[in-house]
Amino acid sequence: MSVQQLPASTVHVMLGDCSAADARSVFAVLSGQFTADPEGAAEPHESASGRPTVWTALFDTAGDPRGPGGPVVELSGQPTVEAQGGPLATRHLREALGAAFTVHELGTEAGDQEVQMKLRLDSSTAHETRSA
């Protein structure tokens, strides 16, 4: 079995601790800035099981972002975002999220060629980065 190597510009994003509506909002912000992997583009929806749900997507952050962020997005909760990718790619993703939401950094682990970060988002109007 071979493992496919993703381009350095690709970031794997996992959303949790949020409603399907909040997941759609976060993914809409990221899709407005970056190219989303069409194979992982399932529309977030509530599960009938009542168990926690995690939504995932791949985004290609290569090239310039598609323009300034759109209108301020209101979230009903505070989604948790876990992102994994190259240092530059995760930085671009973090900046795009920071343009639309207040980002609280919960932790970052940097490896030789990959960064894993955990963030919490909220839609307060201050849009500043805070360490938790």
pLDDT in tens, 18-59: 998 999 999 999 998 999 886 655 555 555 566 668 889 999
Provide mean pLDDT across the span 125-129. Answer: 50
State the average pLDDT for the chain. 82
Provide mean pLDDT across the span 49-70. Answer: 76
Tell me what pLDDT residue 40 has. 54
Most confident of 44-48, 64-68, 102-106: 102-106
Contact 87, 110 (CB under 8 A): yes
Q: Which residues neighbour 57 within 8 Å (Cβ) at sequence distance 6 or greater?
A: 12, 13, 27, 30, 36, 37, 40, 41
pTM of the model: 0.81
Q: For 89-117, give one letter per residue: b (16+ CB within 10 A) or e.
A: bbebbbebbbbbbbbbeeeeeeeeebbeb
Q: Which residues neighbour 1 within 8 Å (Cβ) at sequence distance 6 or greater?
A: none
Provide mean pLDDT across the span 72-78. Answer: 87
Provide mean pLDDT across the span 110-124. Answer: 91
Tell me what pLDDT residue 132 has. 54
- Nearest to 126, CA basis, from 72, 70, 67: 72
Q: Which residue has the tokens 């977030």?
A: 44
Q: Any idea what DSSP says for residue 38?
A: G
- Nearest to 117, CA basis, from 129, 105, 128, 103: 105
Q: Which residues neighbour 116 within 8 Å (Cβ) at sequence distance 6 or greater?
A: 82, 83, 84, 108, 109
Residue 110 Cα to chain centre, angstroms: 17
